[in-house]
Structures are given as C-alpha cells and as structure tokens.
Structure 1
Amino acid sequence: MQKIELKLTKIDLRNLNELIEISRITYKDSFSNDNTPENMESYLSTSFNKNKLKKELMDNNSEFYFSKFKDETSGYLKVNLGDSQTDIKDGNGMELERIYVLEKFQGKKIGQFLINRAIRIAEKRNVEYIWLGVWEKNSKAIAFYKKNGFKIVGTHLFKMGNDIQTDYIMKRKI
C-alpha cells in the first residue's frame, strides 16, 4: 500500500491571499446550511478579510499551518498562546482556534493529521492542556474531538452575524 504524503507548512504573510480563500471556502462549506446567507456573509467578511487575517498572521502568539496533501493545500490549523487565546487566557494552555479541511480532502485523515500536529505543537510549547470552542450543533466535530481525548468543560457565546450561538469549550490534557 502506498503511503499518502501529508505535510505541514507554516503560513506567513506571503500566503495571505490563499489563507483568505481557504478560510472562506471551508467555513462556508461547513456552516452555510445551518445559517442564513446574510449571517454567513457578515461573518465571512468580518472574520476572514485581509486586514484581520494579516493582523492575526503578524501576532507572535498565533501560528497558522497549511496541511499539504500531495503538495496541494488541503486545510489548515491555527493555534493561539498567551493573551492571543480567545477565551481562556492561561499561559498553561494553548487554544486550537481553527482546524479546517477542504471538502474534497475530507475522509483522507487530514483532520486527524492536523489535530496530531496541534497536540505536538502543544507538547513542544510545554503547555498543560489544549482547548477549543466547537458549535454545539456540530456533532461530527464534537465526536472527532472526543475521540481525540477532548472533554466538554463549559460553553461560550459565538456571534454569527446577528445570531448568537453556543459553542462548547473542550479541553484535553497534554
């Protein structure tokens, strides 16, 4: 059996346009069926615009990585440390803020590859735990995170356009 080549590459400002594109595509593919077009467009234009993503890329406490499947970008992950974490601003923790995989690459274990890399980053950073927020209605993602040792420890509110939604906060010890 031939091994599929998967690798991780760090994203920097040279990749800004590709990051914007993949962010918008993956988010829309994942959540547009459960949200109004107006709320989706509001969120995409606010969260994945050039200025916002450029600022996030320049943040020393945030790191972005593309997953490459046969040298083609298949998804990405974003982790935050310290004060760049969105909710739990604990120096002993690391946030996995985004883990997105393009639809055409789903089912190829890329999500597992990305979460394994995030855990490895957390180990290298010597943090005690990794945490994330996941929409309470995203049962597929919740099951995936539980399979990887994450447990629901709380909730927080998430604004999608003018819709206030509830995310579970999930945590995993390192």
Structure 2
Amino acid sequence: MIIKSKEHIVNNLNYIIRSAVEEDAKELSKVRVQIDGETENMDREAGEAFIDETGFKELINKDSMSSRNIFLVAEVNGKIAGFSRCEGSELKRSGHKVEFGVCVLKEFWGFAIGKNLLAQSIQWADSNHIKKITLNVLETNEKAIKLYEQNGFEIEGILKMDKQLSDGNYYSTIAMGRINDNTLR
C-alpha cells in the first residue's frame, strides 16, 4: 500500500518518511547490507540473505499493490537512512495481522527515525483494520524493547538461545505483539 509522505525535523535533521518506490531498489540493497554489518540487533550478518536490486523491486511492487503490506523508507537529503516493512499473510487464519521489521543506518541513530517509521506503520495498520502487529527483537536491544512497549506492544514470548552473536554467546529473541482493540469484534 502507498501512503502520503510525512516530513520530520528531529535534532536539526530533516527527513521524509514515504512509501518505497522502484527507484529505491538499488540503494535499498546496499543500505540493507550496510545496516546488517553495523549492529548485531539484526537477524543477519552483512551480506547474508542478500536481496539484490531486482529482489527489492519485486518487494516494492508487491507491497505497493497489497492492502496487507507496507514498505516505508526514511529519506535524508535524497538518500535512504532507514526503512521498515509490514508484511501480512494471504492465509485467511492469519489475515488479521502483519509482521513489522525496521532498520536504520547507525549514523542516523538518535533522530527518531525508527520511532517515526514505527508510528507511521501503526497508524497505517490501525486505519486499515489490522488487528495485530507482531515483531521480534533481540533481548539485548533494550532501547527498542522500551520503544515498542511505549507504543502498546507486549511481550508474548521468549525464544531462548535463539541467536549466537560475535562474542560466542547465545541470546534470546523477544516476541512482541500489539493488538488494536478498536478493531476487535
């Protein structure tokens, strides 16, 4: 689905959150690899599960046409600083929910880009009668967990020893969900 662009100014940084377009695909491929290498909060290491320009074009087109998906980018001075995606299911039993994921380049941490991508996604979900948003977050990412809780997400489960990080230790993944009470029947 396509949304209307929204401008933000945080700590003197101007950026726009908008729907991804095909022309973003090449840059998204590079940005995703860079982000994966900047933090261990992601599921992947840099270069793993690589999505090339064609793959991103396919995702963008699929998401633009689907009422159950949304692909957002945060743009700073014409460059992508981060992105988020909500993906719904075509299965009837799971059609009421979407899964949220977000990533932001490290140089743009502290400008509420992730927070605003989340807020825009929640607004989209609520206005499109999506009953539940789910996400997974690494237990060490306390800042993200706090942000999600502040936005109505609750811990629904813990996947123990789910990820092995560069220090050789195993860490748990926190499964979280946000239910939109206004859409319940």
Q: Distance in 2 between matches of 1:99 and 1:49?
A: 18
Residues in 2 aligned to 1:78 and 1:140: alpha-carbon distance in whole angstroms:
19
Could you say which structure has the greater relative contact order, defined with CA pairs below 8 angstroms and 6 or more residues apart? 1
Specify the code of the residue in structure 2 equivalent to 1:110.
Answer: I
Counterpart pick for 2:59 among 51, 56, 59: 56
Change (3 A) 1:128 1:15: same
> Helix, strand or coil for the counterpart of 1:56?
helix
Amino acid at match of 1:28: G
**Structure 1 160/109 Cα, relative in aligned 2: closer, same or farther at 3 Å?**
same
Paired with 2:78 and 2:50, the residues of 1 have a C-alpha distance of 27
Identify which of 15, 23, 30 aligns with 1:21: 30
TM-score, scaled to structure 1: 0.74
State the distance in 2 between where 1:141 and 1:82 align.
25
1:40 corresponds to which residue? Answer: 45
Any stretches of 5+ residues in structure 1 without a counterpart? none
> Which residue does 2:123 correspond to in 1?
120
Cα shift at 1:7: 2.0
**Is 73-82 or 3-12 further displaced after alignment?**
3-12
Alignment match, 1:92: 96
Q: CA-to-partner distance for each residue in 1:128-173, whole Å, 9 max, x for gaps?
A: 1211111223222212212222111024586779x98642210112
Matched-pair contact (CA < 8 Å) for 1:56–1:62: no
SS in structure 1 of the partner of residue 94 of structure 2: coil
- Taking the aligned partners of 2:39 and 2:95, their CA distance within structure 1 comes to 31
Poorly superposed stretches of 4+, deviation over 6 Å: none
Deviations along 1:74-99, whole A, 9 cap, x unmatched? 21111111238xxxx72221211x21
Aligned length: 162
Q: Superposition pairs for residues 100-115 of structure 1, below 5 Å?
A: 100-115=103-118
**1:17-41 deviations in whole A, cap 9, x for unaligned?**
1111111111221218x99xxx725
Structure 1's 49 and 137: CA in aligned 2 closer, same or farther, altered over 3 A?
A: farther
Conservation of the 8 A alpha-carbon contact between 2:28 and 2:80: no
Q: Is 1:141 the equivalent of 2:148?
A: no
**What is the SS of the residue equivalent to 1:45?**
coil
How far 1:50 sits from its partner (Å)? 4.4
Deviation for aligned residue 1:64:
1.5
Matched, 1:83 2:90: yes
- Report % sequence identity: 20
Whether the 8 Å CA contact 2:138–2:174 is kept in 1: the answer is yes
Higher helix share: 1
Over aligned residue pairs, what C-alpha RMSD do you find? 3.4
Please state how far the C-alpha of 1:102 moved relative to its aligned partner.
1.2
Task: Give the direction of change, closer, same or farther, for the CA distance of 1:3–1:173 in structure 2 (3 Å limit).
Answer: farther
